Amino acid sequence: MNYVDNTLKFENEFLSPFATKSCETKGRVRPLENDGLRTEFQRDRDRILHCKSFRCLKHKTQVFLSPEGDHYRTRLTHTLEVSQIARTIARALRLNEDLTEAIALGHDLGHTPYGHGGERALQSFTRFYHNEQSLRVVDYIEYDCKGMNLTFEVRDGILNHTSRGKPATPEGMVVAWRDRIAYINHDIDDAVRGGVISESDIPKKYIEAFGANNGKRIGAMILDIIRNSENKSVVKPSPEFEKLIGELREFMFENVYRSPIAKGEEQKAIDMIKYLYGYYLSHRDKLPKKFLDMDSTDEQKVCDYISTMSDNYAIRTFEELCVPKSWAVL
């Protein structure tokens, strides 16, 4: 029995006219034979979930660098929160939940160690944006530099999940907005837990608009997006909420993302990533063979290798290169 037919029938009967149907995908560079179990977007979700780059996210910084406590977000928990809430929005709007989930799970695969700090370090030398690198991960780096061969719609959503992007599908729009909502709210939660700010520091107008705690804030923003996007081809908050979300984001930049408490060690991380970039550019023979064999510039090969590192692996590599080993007398 071909179980995909049941899913396709469900999509055609239930999903919104604006949803991206699995049968309407623009496809892959290399077509795959139907496995009888999963739609094309479900297969993409599974490919992302099982790849090495996804597992590596558990040891990559979200806001707090290498947090010691178990309760702070990492890049992996951020990704899972984005995925869960994006699916909720997609379900409410009768969009394609599988496509939404695949984009959400893959959107940050290209993040460097130490998050945006590592991204800025590489930007000192070359053009590097984590969304473009996430697409590069799925197109070229994963599966031993042969790529994951994902569908156009998932690749588009990954590339365009930032504020600069313009997703081609409503599912991609869901993830783009959910990403912003996720990091603003869970970063507030982590910042309060870490003593960077207190709940009383949050301006009253945001409390009145969104609520006084993490759950209420997220719920209010999600409900606004759903209400404002019903029976429309564009997914976004109401103008009032869009303005307030932007202002709250600026509050976070001023009080958390640039805070010496949260970012006191970041310059060390940036300097470390810069050193690794310079070292491997000067010692290209030290790169793993799979990166050396890639058809790209030396600068790109170095960025590709560094972007695959976790925080912990970057530290170990730096120590091996820079810290003298003890001399043991036998």
Which tens digit of pLDDT belongs to each residue from 36-59?
999 999 999 999 999 999 999 999
Q: How many domains does the chain have?
A: 1
Examine residue 148 and state whether it is found in any structural domain, yes or no: yes
**Residue 177 belongs to a domain:** yes
Domain that holds residue 171: 4-322
In a domain, 189, yes or no: yes
Is 175 within the bounds of a domain?
yes
CATH of the domain at 138: 1.10.3210.10
Looking at the chain, the number of H-run helices and the number of E-run strands are: 18, 0
The per-residue pLDDT for 3 is 87
**Could you tell me the two tokens for 212?**
């006084």
What is the Cα–Cα distance from 317 to 311, expressed in whole angstroms? 10
The conformation of residue 199, written as its DSSP 8-state character, comes to: G
Domain for residue 329, yes or no? no
Question: Among all chains, which residue has been given the structure tokens 């979200």?
Answer: 62
327 in any annotated domain = no
pLDDT digits (tens, 9 = 90+) for 274-288: 999 999 999 999 999
- For residue 261, is it within any domain? yes
Q: Is 328 among the domain residues?
A: no
CA torsion, ordered 8, 12, 17, 21, to nearest 10 deg: 10
- Is it the case that residue 330 has pLDDT exceeding 80? no
Q: What per-residue confidence (pLDDT) applies to 62?
A: 82
Cβ-based neighbours of 283, under 8 Å, separated by 6 or more = none
Would the pTM of this model clear 0.85, i.e. be above it?
A: yes
Query: Is the Cα torsion angle 18, 21, 24, 26 positive or negative in sign?
Result: positive
Residue for token digits 């869901």?
Answer: 174
